[in-house]
C-alpha cells in the first residue's frame, strides 16, 4: 500500500490523491504479518471412540464374565472342602469349559473375519471396476480363486480363469470375466434355493391352522436360507456372524424396499388383485412366499463376494414366478369346482 502523508492518515475529510509509486517522498508500507496461528492447520475432529451402546455391552459382558468366573471358583472351592476328588473333578470340568469357550470364541472370530473379508472383497471389486485398475482387479481375482479353492464344482471354472490371468485384459473386464466364470454357477444355485424356500413357506402357511406355527416356520426358513446362501458363497458364518448377516439383510431390505413396488411380479399381485381373489389361506401363503423371496434376494446381495456388474441381479420374478402360477392354477380349479356344483344344482 502506498501512502502520501503519514501524518494525515485517519484525519476526517482527507480526499483521495493520485501519485506515482516512484515519486520522491513516497514510501511503501510493509506487508502485514500473518499470524502464525493462521498457518497452523485445523486439527481434525476427534472421533467419538466407543459408542454408548458398545460401552454398555462391554461393561455388561465384563460383569457377567466376572460373575460366572467367581461362581465357578466358589463351586470348585466348595467341592474341595467336601472332598478332594470332588474338587479335582470340578476343576477338570472347569478346564473343559474354559477350553470349549476359547474354541467357540476363536471359531466365531474366524467367521466374523471371513465375513469382513467378503465385504472388503466386494468393495475392492467395485472400486477396481470403477477405476479400471488392472492390479486391483488381479488381486480380487486371486482372492476369489483362493476363496473357491474348496468348492469342487468350480474346479473347471478356476482352471479356465487362471489361464486368463496372464492375458492382457483391462481391470474392469477382468472383474467381469471373474464374475461370469465363478459367480454364474453359484448364482444359479442361489436362485434355486430362494425359489424352493419361497415355495415351502407358501405351502406351509397356506395349510397351517395356527398363525404362531406360520411365524415360527417363516423365521426358521429365513434363518436357514441366509445361512445356506452364505455358505454357498464361501461365508460359513457362526452365531455372531448370523446376527451380523441378519442385520445386513434387514438394512438392505430397508434401503431397497421401495424398489419392490416396481417389480412386475408385485404389480401382477397387487394391480390385478390376485391375492384378493384367492382364498384367505392361499392368498396369505402367496404373500408369505413373496416376502421370503424378497428376503432371499437381499441375502444374495449381502453374501455374494462380487457386485453385480457383468451378470444381471436376480429379480423377484426369477425366483417367485412359480408361486403365482400355482395360485392361478388353484384359483382355476376352485372356479371349475364351483361351476360344476352350480350345474349339478
* φ, ψ at 314 (rounded to 5°): -65, 145
Residue pair 123/115 in contact by the 8 Å Cβ criterion: no
> What does each C-alpha distance from 137 to 174, 179, 239 come to in angstroms?
6, 11, 32
4 located within any domain: no
Q: Is the pLDDT of residue 18 over 90?
A: no
Q: Is the residue at 65 inside a domain?
A: no
pLDDT for res 2: 42
Q: Which three cell numbers stand for residue 64?
A: 457377567
Instruction: Answer whether residue 206 is part of any domain.
Output: yes
Q: Is residue 210 part of a domain?
A: yes
Examine residue 250 and state whether it is found in any structural domain, yes or no.
yes
Assess if residue 166 is contained within a domain: no
Give the per-residue pLDDT at 151: 85
* Residue 28 DSSP SS3: strand
Once rounded to an integer, what is the mean pLDDT over residues 180-184? 90
Number of domains the chain contains? 1
Q: Residue 301 domain-assigned?
A: yes
Residue 167 or 301, more confident: 301
- Average pLDDT score over residue span 99-121: 88
d(CA 275, CA 138): 49
Structural domain boundaries, residue 263: 186-306+317-340
Beta strands per DSSP E along the chain: 2-3, 27-28
Is residue 25 assigned to a domain? Answer: no
Q: Is 65 exposed, middle or buried (0-12, 13-18, 19+ CB in 10 A)?
A: exposed
φ, ψ at 27 (rounded to 5°): -120, 150
Q: Is 207 exposed, middle or buried (0-12, 13-18, 19+ CB in 10 A)?
A: exposed
- pLDDT of 96 reads 93
Amino acid at each position: 500500500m502506498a501512502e502520501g502523508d503519514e501524518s494525515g492518515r485517519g484525519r476526517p475529510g482527507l480526499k483521495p490523491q493520485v501519485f506515482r509509486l516512484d515519486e520522491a517522498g513516497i514510501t511503501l508500507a510493509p506487508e502485514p504479518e500473518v499470524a502464525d496461528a493462521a498457518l497452523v492447520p485445523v486439527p481434525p475432529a476427534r472421533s467419538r471412540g466407543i459408542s454408548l451402546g458398545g460401552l454398555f455391552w462391554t461393561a455388561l459382558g465384563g460383569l457377567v464374565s466376572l460373575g460366572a468366573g467367581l461362581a465357578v471358583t466358589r463351586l470348585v472351592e466348595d467341592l474341595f472342602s467336601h472332598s478332594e476328588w470332588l474338587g479335582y473333578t470340578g476343576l477338570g470340568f472347569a478346564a473343559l469349559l474354559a477350553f470349549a469357550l476359547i474354541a467357540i470364541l476363536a471359531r466365531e472370530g474366524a467367521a466374523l473375519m471371513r465375513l469382513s473379508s467378503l465385504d472388503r472383497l466386494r468393495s475392492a471389486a467395485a472400486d477396481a471396476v470403477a477405476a479400471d485398475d488392472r492390479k486391483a482387479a488381479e488381486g480380487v481375482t486371486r482372492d476369489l480363486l483362493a476363496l473357491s479353492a474348496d468348492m469342487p464344482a468350480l474346479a473347471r471354472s478356476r482352471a479356465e480363469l487362471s489361464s486368463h490371468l496372464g492375458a492382457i485384459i483391462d481391470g474392469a473386464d477382468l472383474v467381469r470375466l471373474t464374475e461370469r466364470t465363478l459367480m454364474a454357477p453359484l448364482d444359479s444355485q442361489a436362485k434355486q434355493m430362494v425359489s424352493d424356500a419361497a415355495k415351502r413357506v407358501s405351502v406351509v402357511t397356506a395349510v397351517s391352522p395356527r398363525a404362531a406355527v406360520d411365524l415360527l416356520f417363516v423365521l426358521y426358513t429365513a434363518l436357514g436360507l441366509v445361512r445356506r446362501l452364505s455358505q454357498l458363497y464361501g461365508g460359513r458364518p457362526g452365531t455372531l456372524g448370523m446376527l451380523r448377516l441378519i442385520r445386513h439383510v434387514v438394512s438392505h431390505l430397508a434401503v431397497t424396499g421401495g424398489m419392490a413396488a416396481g417389480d412386475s411380479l408385485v404389480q401382477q399381485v397387487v394391480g390385478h388383485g390376485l391375492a384378493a381373489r384367492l382364498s384367505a389361506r392361499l392368498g396369505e401363503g402367496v404373500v408369505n412366499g413373496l416376502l421370503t423371496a424378497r428376503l432371499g434376494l437381499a441375502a444374495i446381495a449381502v453374501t455374494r463376494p462380487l457386485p453385480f456388474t457383468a451378470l444381471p441381479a436376480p429379480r423377484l420374478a426369477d425366483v417367485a414366478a412359480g408361486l403365482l402360477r400355482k395360485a392361478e392354477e388353484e384359483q382355476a380349479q376352485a372356479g371349475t369346482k364351483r361351476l360344476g356344483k352350480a350345474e349339478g344344482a
